[in-house]
Amino acid sequence: MTNFKIILAYNGTAYHGWQRQNNALAVQQVLEEAILSLTGQTVTVNGCSRTDAGVHARRFCASFLIESTITCRGIVFGLNSKLPDDISVLECEKVPLDFHARYMCSGKEYEYIIHNSEIKKSFL
Protein backbone atom coordinates (compact mmCIF):
# COMPACT_ATOMS: atom_id res chain seq x y z
CA MET A 1 0.00 0.00 0.00
CA THR A 2 1.10 3.54 -0.73
CA ASN A 3 -0.30 6.58 1.04
CA PHE A 4 -0.39 9.70 -1.11
CA LYS A 5 -0.80 13.27 0.12
CA ILE A 6 -2.02 15.63 -2.56
CA ILE A 7 -2.56 19.37 -2.62
CA LEU A 8 -5.59 20.49 -4.62
CA ALA A 9 -6.95 23.77 -5.87
CA TYR A 10 -10.56 24.03 -6.89
CA ASN A 11 -13.25 26.45 -7.90
CA GLY A 12 -16.19 25.29 -5.81
CA THR A 13 -18.95 27.08 -7.75
CA ALA A 14 -20.29 23.86 -9.27
CA TYR A 15 -19.96 21.76 -6.10
CA HIS A 16 -21.81 21.33 -2.84
CA GLY A 17 -18.62 21.44 -0.82
CA TRP A 18 -15.84 18.95 -0.32
CA GLN A 19 -17.60 15.98 1.28
CA ARG A 20 -19.32 13.31 -0.80
CA GLN A 21 -23.13 13.48 -0.58
CA ASN A 22 -25.98 11.30 -1.77
CA ASN A 23 -28.01 14.14 -3.23
CA ALA A 24 -25.44 16.57 -4.68
CA LEU A 25 -22.09 16.66 -6.48
CA ALA A 26 -19.06 17.26 -4.25
CA VAL A 27 -15.33 17.64 -4.91
CA GLN A 28 -14.48 14.42 -3.02
CA GLN A 29 -16.74 12.37 -5.31
CA VAL A 30 -15.24 13.85 -8.48
CA LEU A 31 -11.70 13.20 -7.22
CA GLU A 32 -12.50 9.61 -6.19
CA GLU A 33 -14.03 8.95 -9.63
CA ALA A 34 -10.88 10.35 -11.30
CA ILE A 35 -8.69 8.05 -9.17
CA LEU A 36 -10.87 5.08 -10.13
CA SER A 37 -10.58 6.02 -13.80
CA LEU A 38 -6.80 6.41 -13.54
CA THR A 39 -5.96 3.35 -11.42
CA GLY A 40 -8.98 1.04 -11.59
CA GLN A 41 -9.19 1.14 -7.78
CA THR A 42 -11.97 2.44 -5.59
CA VAL A 43 -10.53 4.60 -2.81
CA THR A 44 -11.76 6.93 -0.11
CA VAL A 45 -10.02 10.28 -0.24
CA ASN A 46 -9.68 12.00 3.13
CA GLY A 47 -9.75 15.78 3.07
CA CYS A 48 -8.17 18.12 5.60
CA SER A 49 -11.62 19.60 6.31
CA ARG A 50 -15.04 20.11 4.83
CA THR A 51 -16.06 23.15 2.82
CA ASP A 52 -19.47 24.65 2.19
CA ALA A 53 -21.21 24.73 -1.17
CA GLY A 54 -19.59 27.14 -3.60
CA VAL A 55 -16.38 27.57 -1.58
CA HIS A 56 -13.08 27.66 -3.47
CA ALA A 57 -9.75 26.27 -2.25
CA ARG A 58 -6.25 27.38 -3.21
CA ARG A 59 -4.35 24.70 -1.24
CA PHE A 60 -6.53 21.87 0.04
CA CYS A 61 -4.72 18.84 1.47
CA ALA A 62 -6.12 15.35 0.89
CA SER A 63 -4.78 11.83 1.28
CA PHE A 64 -5.61 8.35 0.07
CA LEU A 65 -4.22 4.82 0.28
CA ILE A 66 -3.79 2.79 -2.89
CA GLU A 67 -2.16 -0.44 -4.04
CA SER A 68 -0.13 0.74 -7.00
CA THR A 69 3.36 1.44 -8.26
CA ILE A 70 2.25 4.77 -9.74
CA THR A 71 4.60 7.67 -9.05
CA CYS A 72 3.73 11.08 -7.65
CA ARG A 73 4.31 12.53 -11.12
CA GLY A 74 1.85 9.95 -12.45
CA ILE A 75 -0.72 10.97 -9.83
CA VAL A 76 -0.42 14.69 -10.64
CA PHE A 77 -0.47 14.42 -14.42
CA GLY A 78 -2.82 11.44 -14.53
CA LEU A 79 -5.44 12.95 -12.25
CA ASN A 80 -5.22 16.35 -13.92
CA SER A 81 -5.99 14.64 -17.24
CA LYS A 82 -9.11 13.05 -15.70
CA LEU A 83 -10.39 15.96 -13.58
CA PRO A 84 -12.59 18.79 -14.84
CA ASP A 85 -10.97 22.19 -15.38
CA ASP A 86 -12.22 23.52 -12.05
CA ILE A 87 -10.21 20.99 -9.96
CA SER A 88 -6.40 20.70 -10.12
CA VAL A 89 -3.84 18.54 -8.36
CA LEU A 90 -0.92 20.88 -7.61
CA GLU A 91 1.41 18.58 -5.66
CA CYS A 92 1.79 14.99 -4.56
CA GLU A 93 4.05 13.18 -2.12
CA LYS A 94 4.26 9.73 -0.64
CA VAL A 95 3.69 9.85 3.11
CA PRO A 96 3.79 7.29 5.95
CA LEU A 97 0.85 4.89 6.12
CA ASP A 98 -0.47 6.53 9.29
CA PHE A 99 -0.74 9.99 7.65
CA HIS A 100 -4.34 11.26 7.47
CA ALA A 101 -5.10 14.66 5.94
CA ARG A 102 -7.77 15.55 8.50
CA TYR A 103 -5.99 14.42 11.64
CA MET A 104 -2.58 15.81 10.64
CA CYS A 105 -3.90 19.26 9.70
CA SER A 106 -2.12 21.96 11.69
CA GLY A 107 -4.07 25.02 10.58
CA LYS A 108 -6.48 26.64 8.16
CA GLU A 109 -6.73 30.09 6.69
CA TYR A 110 -9.92 31.59 5.31
CA GLU A 111 -10.25 34.63 3.08
CA TYR A 112 -13.62 36.28 2.63
CA ILE A 113 -14.02 38.59 -0.35
CA ILE A 114 -17.09 40.80 -0.41
CA HIS A 115 -17.86 42.60 -3.63
CA ASN A 116 -19.81 45.70 -2.68
CA SER A 117 -20.25 47.76 -5.83
CA GLU A 118 -22.98 48.82 -8.21
CA ILE A 119 -20.84 47.68 -11.13
CA LYS A 120 -20.31 43.96 -11.65
CA LYS A 121 -16.75 42.68 -11.79
CA SER A 122 -16.18 39.69 -14.10
CA PHE A 123 -13.58 38.04 -11.87
CA LEU A 124 -15.57 38.43 -8.66
CA distance 6 to 46: 10
HSE (CB half, 13 Å, CA atoms) of 73?
0
At 99, give phi and psi (nearest 5°). -70, 135
Query: Which listed residue (52, 85, 86, 98) is catalytic?
Result: 52
Contact criterion met (CB below 8 Å) for 60 and 18: yes
Q: Is 98 a catalytic residue?
A: no
Active site residues: 52
